[in-house]
Amino acid sequence: MQAFLKGATVQSTRSQKDKGATGPSTEKKAKVVPWVEKYRPKCVDEVAFQEDVVAVLKKSLEGADLPNLLFYGPPGTGKTSTILAAARELYGPQLFRQRVLELNASDERGIQVIREKVKNFAQLTVAGTRTDGKPCPPFKIIILDEADSMTAPAQAALRRTMEKESRTTRFCLICNYVSRIIEPLTSRCSKFRFKPLANRIQEERLLEICEKENLKYTKESIEALVRVSEGDLRKAITYLQSAARLNNDKDVTECAVIEIAGIVPPKMINKLLQICFKGTFEKLEDAVRNLVDEGYAATQILSQLHESIIDGDINDKQKSVITEKMAVVDKCLSDGADEYLQMLSLCSVIMQQAFQNT
């Protein structure tokens, strides 16, 4: 049995994130660890806001069986952290390496890997006790992170493996877009949706970090962080760290947050809209050129324009025409179209609509 388990260590593939987290600490340079890693939940209880999944995992930590899991939801909401924390609690630090196989998008996950690596790992049988004598579940966990980037044939190859090895292995699939996981796989798993974190929870976490890092902050700066990160706690923490680095005395100001998040000052957006509504095409061209030359990302301008248009006082028909154009522009931008031309074409449509009085 021990030989079996040792064999498994060789196969366990560690994630890039893990390497990033443990690398610097082994060199005793704890300060170099990014805060997202430093404050990654160590146990399931530390995972904030995702009550459903935490409840299920806690039940299984108490000894109940674990179903196959499918976590989905937007980035930075705690999916990877939750399963890693649960696995650590289940197996303890020593057995963790042997019992958990983590594959993410940085590993090759074509059909060949599913056939060989996953299948071989799944077939190993394991004991129900830890090396320290404590009981632990008699199964292994295979984490397939970023599963939505797996090819359909690779996903299909998982179907039978998942069923056949259910006695010894549990799978945890993690993805952002659940629609990209094939139906037969979703039906084999308990699905858990990870919600974007509520503003209050994000605020609490950020304040906690500020305190631990001895940061000086203003209420407005934390509010700005929560606002720009839109429920993505990873983004909020990363911005917080950058904002703290920006000012040497560890001051976090609202200005710094806005600067780092690359938000276009609302004044500029308002000016652009005013030109669309009252100005001439030449002025519009200048204003758009100016915005793009300032280096603001077109997608950022787009999302801020979107907010203003939705709240603006034009009629519903005009709003619908403009937002439809926004969707097209968004697609073009993600396909790599020219930012200036796309912004100009969007603003032209806004102008056209503004000049229509119906």
Ligand X SMILES: Nc1ncnc2c1ncn2[C@@H]1O[C@H](COP(=O)(O)OP(=O)(O)OP(=O)(O)O)[C@@H](O)[C@H]1O
Q: Which amino acid is at 138?
A: P
Instruction: Assess 231 for contact with ligand X (CB under 6 A).
Output: no
- Among 94, 12, 346, 74, CA closest to 230: 74
Please tell me whether residue 137 binds ligand X under the rule CB under 6 A: no
The single residue listed with the structure tokens 């560890």 is 250
What's the CA gap between 80 and 75, in Å, rounded? Answer: 10
Contact string 186-225 vs ligand X (x = CB under 6 A): --------x--x----------------------------
- CA 146/CA 71 separation, integer angstroms: 10
The piece of 37-45, 212-220, 248-256, 314-322 that touches ligand X (CB under 6 A) is 37-45
Residue choice 125, 168, 176, 247 for contact with ligand X (CB under 6 A): 176
Verify binding: residue 140, ligand X, rule CB under 6 A: no
79 binds ligand X (CB under 6 A): yes
Residue 36 in contact with ligand X, rule: CB under 6 A: yes
What DSSP assignment string belongs to 304-324?
Answer: HHHHHHHHSSS-HHHHHHHHH
Distance from the first to the final alpha carbon of the chain: 78
Q: Contact between 104 and Mg ion (CB under 5 A)?
A: no
The distance of closest approach from Cβ of residue 228 to ligand X in the complex, given in angstroms and rounded to an integer, is 15
Other beta carbons within 10 angstroms of residue 153's beta carbon come to 11
Q: Which of 79, 117 has the CB closer to ligand X? A: 79
Using the rule CB under 5 A, which residue among 15, 60, 77, 80 binds Mg ion?
80
* Three-state secondary structure call for residue 117: helix
- The correct pick among 69, 78, 217, 229 for binding ligand X (CB under 6 A) is 78
Alpha-carbon distance of 296 to 29, in angstroms, equals 35
Contact footprint for ligand X (CB under 6 A): 36, 39-41, 47-50, 75-81, 176, 194, 197, 233-234, 237
